[in-house]
Every structure is written in structure tokens, then in C-alpha cells.
Amino acid sequence: MKKTVAIIAGTRPECVKMAPVYFELLKSETLRPVFVSTGQHRQMLDQTLAVFGLKPEYDLNLMQPGQTLPDLTGRVLSAMTAWLAEHKPDAVLVQGDTTTVLAASLAAFYARIPVGHVEAGLRTGDMASPFPEEMNRRLTSPLARWNFCPTEVSKANLMREGIDPASCSVTGNSVIDALLRVRDRQKEQGLDAAAVAAKVGIPEKFTERFLKKPGAPWVLVTGHRRESFGGGFERICEAINRLTQEHPEVGVLYPVHLNPQVQEPVKRLLGDNPRVALVPPAAYEEFVWLMDRCAFLLSDSGGVQEEAPSLGKPVLVLRETTERPEGVTAGTCTLVGTDPDKILAEAHRLLGDRAEYARRSALKNPYGDGHTARRIREILEETLR
């Protein structure tokens, strides 16, 4: 009989990075994947599941509006404990550093079910940034029987913390598997500006002036980090307003995260700027298309920092630290924090200095070749007994 591997996902990025692992395990002769959603992000997760044609076999549906971290952690821990007791999978896979990851790993540990941590070993070294993700991932590493590290850098982090080397393997990052899969499909289907604009809800003016004109410079923005709630987001919005004042030729497209702490300042401060298009969170497929065509990105997202080197798009990272030094080393990602002067200085360079832009948009592949999911499957097939 095949062994059951429960794949747990609660948020948009977990779904993107777990989809390739799920489809790879479906091919296994000895393992059977079961997709379990905690529903930490109701709308954003459902939107992403749809892109990959994934239907969770089980949905714990735990999101509540304005959820606090302790509430959500408690709800995931109890609901996962009950689910594991009923379904008794042979292994549990989690991905990344969200509340879903920590609480589901702990539930599996209590139930004595082995845990595999996809994207293990990322560290900023600062417990306050990203908060609470740095702590979530640190606590998950010793709970895991398999630590699937994206790069040698992440594996070395785990070695320094005394994590059992036998649990660690370098597999690459499955986000590249997802990215390549989605780009291939876009090519087959010939996705174009009009279709993307209609699906994302991009205003016609912006579409005509920027998306349909090759070479018209526009910037793609995303942001959701708790460290930036309040003043940080206000400063980011100030920088965007100043960017459009100082560069009248530049447009800004900003799919705004659904967290109310993000929505409020962004709509208040950018809602009236005619050169900024605020749109709902874009589905992964359209987001990849947009990343591929913007001039550069302003973002605090982890996934974007990983995808950008493969797409050759410079990212000004709206954070003080990063757990993804590979993108910085490659030259694609630059840490700018939330200081408007710093953001603008770097944006000016990218818009005004062709040689610098060329250097920072050189294609690099620090996160692997798109075969991460296969490596994870092979390791599980060999070692899950």
C-alpha cells in the first residue's frame, strides 16, 4: 500500500511552492499525496489553488477576519491535531515560515508523525524581522525529520544551529518549478496584455499607456510585512508618490494584499495618485506575466526575491534584512528598507543608468533548475519507511 504524505498549506506562497511537490508525489509508485488546506488565507489561497488546478482533499477553513497570531496558532494546532488523529498520514510536509507551518509541524510532532520542511534553513538572524516568520522557521527546523534546504547557504545555517546533518539536503527551491511551469503554460496559451488586464482589473488607461507599450517604464509593487505596518507602509507610499512626481514617464502598478493593515494606508495615501494603479491581489499566473514585463519591482515578498533572478528583474527589497542573500549576491536584489530617500535613490539609478540596470537584470539561477520537487520525492521515497 502507498504511504500517505499530507501536504499542508495555508497561504498563497505555501500553495505556489507546494503545488509542484503535490504533482510530483502523484507520480510516485510508493507515496500518495493528500492536500490539506488550513485556509489561513481564504481568498488568496483559493485564488492560487485555482491557478494550479488544485483542490484540497481537506479544508480546515480556519481564517477569521482580523485574526491575531495566538488565535490562529491555537486554531491550527487543535484542528491539525484532530485531523492527524483521524487520518493518520505517514508523513507531513510543510513549507516556509507561516503560522500554518509552525502550528502544523508541532501538531505532527506531538502525534509522532515525521515532518518534512520544504524551504528549510532561511535566516535573517533577527528575531524581530521578519516577525514572526524568523521565529516560526527556527522553531520548525528541530521538529523536522527532513529539512529540504534551497541552497548551500541555507543548509550551512542549519549546521550552525546544530540541526542533525542527516536531516538536511539541498534540493533547490520549488518556487522555480512553479515559475517555469506557469511560464511554459503562458507561452502555450499566448497570454497577452488585454487578457491580463481584464483578469487583474487593471484600469484601461494604465493598460494602454504602459502594458501595451513595450519599453514604457512601469514599476510593480507588493508589500505585506508586519514589521512595516504603520509608519513603514506610510513611508513606502510616500516614496511611490515622490517617484511618480520626479519621473513623469513612470507608472506604478500595485496589487494590494488583503490584510486590512495594508489596505488602509495604501488606499488612503495612493488612492488619488492618477499614475498609480491599485488593484486586488493578482493570481499567480498573471503576476508572473507582470513581473516578466515591469521595469523593476519594489517588494518585501520572499517569493519575488527568489523569482526575480530567474526573470532578470531588479528588486528593491523594502526590508532592512533578508533571509535570501543569494539574490543580493547575484546583484538582482538590493535592500532599501522603507526610507523614501533610499528607495528613491535606488529607483533613480535603475531608471537613469542603463549600465547599472543591465548589470542588475542579468539572468541568474541561485534557486535551482526547476527540479526541486523531483528531488524531494526521491528523498521521501528512499527514506520514508
Active site (annotated) includes residue 87: no
Q: Is the peptide bond before 314 cis (omega within 30 degrees of 0)?
A: no
Looking at 14, 24, 119, 285, which residue is catalytic? 119
Q: Toward ligand UD1, which CB reaches closer, 230 or 274?
A: 230
Q: How far is the CB of 263 from ligand UD1 (least distance, A)?
A: 9
Compute the distance between CA of residue 18 and CA of residue 178 in angstroms, rounded to an integer: 9
Compute the distance between CA of residue 352 and CA of residue 89 in angstroms, rounded to an integer: 55
- Does 129 help bind ligand UD1 (rule: CB under 6 A)? no
- Does 65 help bind ligand UD1 (rule: CB under 6 A)? yes
Q: Toward ligand UD1, which CB reaches closer, 68 or 354?
A: 68
Active site (annotated) includes residue 285: no
Site string for ligand UD1, 88-107 (x = CB under 6 A): ---------xxx--------
Angle formed at CA 279 by CA 283 and CA 239, multiple of 5 degrees? 115
Q: Where are the alpha helices (DSSP H) in the chain?
A: 12-26, 42-51, 69-87, 99-110, 133-140, 152-160, 174-189, 193-200, 204-206, 231-246, 260-270, 284-293, 302-311, 325-330, 340-352, 354-360, 372-383
- Does 41 help bind ligand UD1 (rule: CB under 6 A)? yes
Active site (annotated) includes residue 257: yes
* C-alpha dihedral, 63 to 64 to 70 to 76, nearest 10°: -30
Q: Which stretch binds ligand UD1 (CB under 6 A): 9-17, 149-157, 318-326, 351-359?
A: 9-17
Cβ-in-10-Å burial (0-12, 13-18, 19+) of 24 comes to: buried
Q: How far is the CB of 224 from ligand UD1 (least distance, A)?
A: 5
Active site (annotated) includes residue 59: no
Looking at 12, 75, 123, 133, which residue is catalytic? 133
Looking at 97, 177, 323, 346, which residue is catalytic? 97
- Does 70 help bind ligand UD1 (rule: CB under 6 A)? no
Looking at 12, 224, 247, 377, which residue is catalytic? 224
Decide if 41 contacts 127 (C-beta within 8 A): no
Active site (annotated) includes residue 14: no
CB atoms within 10 A of CB 66: 8
- Does 279 help bind ligand UD1 (rule: CB under 6 A)? no
Decide if 319 contacts 225 (C-beta within 8 A): yes
**Interacting residue with ligand UD1 among 13, 114, 314, 325 (CB under 6 A):** 13
- Does 228 help bind ligand UD1 (rule: CB under 6 A)? no
Alpha carbon 125 to chain centroid, angstroms: 19
Segment holding 37, helix H or strand E: strand 31-37
Looking at 247, 257, 319, 360, which residue is catalytic? 257
Q: Kindly give, in sequence order, each residue whose CB lies less than 8 Å from that of residue 341, ignoring residues fewer than 6 positions away.
A: none
- Does 132 help bind ligand UD1 (rule: CB under 6 A)? yes
In the three-class reduction of DSSP (H, G, I as helix; E, B as strand; rest coil), residue 45 is classed as helix
**Interacting residue with ligand UD1 among 53, 66, 162, 214 (CB under 6 A):** 66
Q: Toward ligand UD1, which CB reaches closer, 80 or 191?
A: 80
The catalytic residues are 97, 119, 133, 224, 226, 257
Chain residues in the site for ligand UD1 (CB under 6 A): 11-13, 40-44, 65-67, 69, 97-99, 132-133, 224, 258-260
